[in-house]
Structures are given as structure tokens and as C-alpha cells.
Structure 1
Amino acid sequence: MKKTALVIDLDRCIGCYSCEVACKNENKIDLGVQYNKVFTIGPTGNFPNLEMYYLPAVCQSCEKAPCVDVCPTGASYVDKDGVILVDSKKCIACMSCISACPYGARKFNEKQQYVEKCTMCSHLLNAGDQPACVKVCCAKARFFGDVNDPESKVSKIIKEAGSAARSLPDEGNRPATRYILHDKTAKWQNKKSWTFFENI
């Protein structure tokens, strides 16, 4: 079964925020709302041995998406490419999906009165293109494709990265998005370092 997802190479990400800007422009997102947000992790360590990296927070394309499971109207669903979407016409703004998402990846649109989220730029995918954030990444740190296809570029990148290919903490939802980060800091393995996701 096809499952598209992002692979983000944090070793290459330079924190330029181009992905944030491209996402907002492409999807015409209101002020105060972000589908894609880049966090600065660190610096950690003792001078002069300091380390830091940038962590883009996006929809994790969960294989067992709790946001879809709890939706009472079927507004949250998975399309043919494995992208998790929201049908605004079916959304009743109960916000159950917002509570269910472990990563704070969904936002409530107060003006339109429905829940919205990253769509992986599904309108571009349907036209045979790539998500806007992938296209504008000047550091070539973002990749998009079918993680279930062993011959896809993203699968090969994950395989080549080995143990450096990581996912956010799994709450039983099996996040498909992968981050590549070689062992620079022990904090990656510490769940406490991910508590900022609760405040996205």
C-alpha cells in the first residue's frame, strides 16, 4: 500500500525558514497559523563544544492516525497516496482530532470554523509536482515519496542513513515522517526534549 511521507535531513537543514514561508504562501494560510514550523534545538554542551540543529515540525503522516480514528464525521481521512487530509465541508469543529494528534500538527481556523493541517500540498501532488516546502529547500534537506516502496528515493535515503534515520516518539500511531540526524546529542533519545510539541 502506498504511503507518502517526508524525509528531512537535519544534518543539512540550515534553519533558513524557506519551508515555513513557502508553506504559508502556497496554501494561503492565515496569520498566526503554521502547518510547518522550524524549531531551534540547542545549543547544548559546554563552550566551546556546543551543538545545535533545526527541527521542522510537520504532520507526521501516521500509519495509524489517531486524528482519523477519532473523527466522528469522516472529515479526517487518508487519500490514495496515504496523505492525511481534512474535508472542510464535513468538519463540525469538534476539535477531537486536535486533541488526538500527539504532535500538535492540526490547527483550528477560527474564521472558517474548521480544522486544517498540512496537506503535503495535495493540489501539487495531483498535478505531478512536489510539496512546496520540498521544492524551495535550498539546502536540499527535504525529500518526499513513498516510504513503502523500497525503490523510491526516500526509502533509499532512509536505508543509507541507517540508525541516523529517526522518527518522533511513537505513541502507537507509527509516524511515517523520518528525520536524519547523526548522533550529535543524547537529547534526541530523551522524550523530554520533545515536550515543546505540546505547545506548537
Structure 2
Amino acid sequence: MNKRYAMVVDLRKCIGCHACSVACKSEFDVPLGYWRAWVKTEEKGRYPHVRVSFLPRLCNHCDNPPCTFVCPVKATYKRPDGIVVVDESLCIGCKACIMACPYEARFSHPSKHVANKCDFCYHRVDKGMVPSCVNTCVGRNRIFGDLNDPNSEVRKLLDTQEVQVLKPEMGTSPQVYYIIPDKDTLIPTYKYHNDIERRAFNASNDHL
């Protein structure tokens, strides 16, 4: 039986330390100002009764990934184990997959001029290791494994815990699951993939 990889993020344990984001940048030498993984922060309440919640974000490695359908050269594809990857040797940098992703999980690499995103660190997974972000998480809130293995931790969590995915209405069947997320945190907001985008957006809206 083929393996089917997924990730469970237990938001009850996330402290918003951003170690996952830093580990990802270090693992892949992600350019300054860009991210393959990031943490969304949501503040609620009014001083002094303020609560902060965190939502780690990454590619959702969907079972029905729209990014693979729009790629004209098949550079983006889904492996038999469920991991969605980008073949940089084939990518022509058209950005169709970036626009097709409903989770804003992709960006155009500024020097390679190809699509870039989380790939579950498949170079590590293929060697029997976990993704870098999972290995680094100080609170062990990221759990990675094979859904087809009844003894795996991810399978047991999905069978025993109430979980949610991002934008289920899109029909993409994400394979990143969240335990007890703050529902307000799941409200989609625009994510700037780099500081240039942020400054350009703010400048264009100064008159509003």
C-alpha cells in the first residue's frame, strides 16, 4: 500500500515562536523577505483582556490540488504519496500555479524565477526523517506521518480529535489538519510574500 502523507497541527500547543518558519528558511536558503512557511497571528479582545492565537501556514498538499491542473508544462505534480512538488527544471515561471492556489502558499523565487513552496521536505522524508519544521517545533504541535498506517500518530489524531482544514468549501481536500483552531484565525487575509509587495500595496492605498 502506498504511503499517504499528511500533517496535523495542534494549535493547543503552538506558542507562536516562529521556529518552524526559521527552520524552513534555513533548510532551503529561502531569500530574505520570502517564506515557504509562516505563522499567522490573530489578536482578540481589548486591553488588558487580550488573547493571541497562532495559525502556522504552509502548502496544504491537497488531494485535489488546483495548482497541478493549471501548470502548462506539468512542472507541478502530485507524488503517489500525496506530496505536491515543483520540478524546477521544468518550471517556466508563468505563475499560473501561484494564482491558482487558494491558500497563497506559493511565491515566485526572485533569482531562480520559478514557483516555490513547501514540499514537506521530501528530500528528508524519502530518507525516513520528518520535515524540518516538524523536527524543530519546540512544542511538538506539528505531527507528520502516513495516513495509511493505522499506528501512525497522524492517523490516531485524525481518528480521535476534532480537526479542521482551511477553506474546505474549495473542494481541494487539504492534507494539513488543525486541532481546535481559533475560527477567527481561519478567516482568509492577504499574505504578502515579500516586503516589496507589502510596500507597493500600502503605497497604492495611501489615498483610501
Whether the TM-score (by the shorter chain) exceeds 0.5 is yes
SS in structure 2 opposite 1:187? helix
Matched, 1:179 2:178: yes
Matched, 1:167 2:168: no
Residue 65 of structure 1 and its aligned partner are, at CA, apart by 0.1
Residue 46 of structure 1 and its aligned partner are, at CA, apart by 4.7
Q: Structure 1 pair 129/186, CA: closer, same or farther in 2 (3 Å)?
A: closer
Residue 175 of structure 1 and its aligned partner are, at CA, apart by 1.0
Residues 22-171 of structure 1: matches in 2 within 5 Å? 22-42=23-43, 44-46=44-46, 49-162=49-162, 165-170=163-168, 171=170
Residue 186 of structure 1 and its aligned partner are, at CA, apart by 5.0
Q: Once the two structures are superposed, what CA deviation does each residue of 1:133-169 show, in whole Å capped at 9, x if it has no partner?
A: 000111010000123444321021122222xx11101
Q: Which amino acid aligns with 1:97?
A: C
TM-score of the superposed pair, with normalisation by structure 1? 0.88
Give 1:195's match in structure 2, choosing from 182, 189, 197: 189
Distance 1:186 1:34 in 2: 24
CA contact (8 A) 1:11 1:53 kept: no
Residue 196 of structure 1 and its aligned partner are, at CA, apart by 3.4
Distance 1:156 1:39 in 2: 26
SS in structure 1 opposite 2:143? strand
SS in structure 2 opposite 1:194? coil
Distance 1:30 1:177 in 2: 25
Residue 52 of structure 1 and its aligned partner are, at CA, apart by 2.4
Distance 1:8 1:136 in 2: 13
Figure out how many residues of one structure are paired with residues of the other and give that number: 191
SS in structure 2 opposite 1:120? coil
Residue 45 of structure 1 and its aligned partner are, at CA, apart by 3.2
Q: Structure 1 pair 51/160, CA: closer, same or farther in 2 (3 Å)?
A: farther
The aligned residue for residue 21 of structure 2 is 20
Q: Which amino acid aligns with 2:189?
A: T
Distance 2:183 2:85 in 1: 34
Distance 2:110 2:167 in 1: 30
The aligned residue for residue 3 of structure 1 is 4
Q: Structure 1 pair 100/14, CA: closer, same or farther in 2 (3 Å)?
A: same
Aligned residues: percent identity? 38
SS in structure 1 opposite 2:7? strand
SS in structure 2 opposite 1:103? coil
TM-score of the superposed pair, with normalisation by structure 2? 0.85
Q: Once the two structures are superposed, what CA deviation does each residue of 1:157-197 show, in whole Å capped at 9, x if it has no partner?
A: 122222xx111012121111101116xx5525xx6x22235
Provide the alpha-carbon RMSD of the alignment. Answer: 1.8
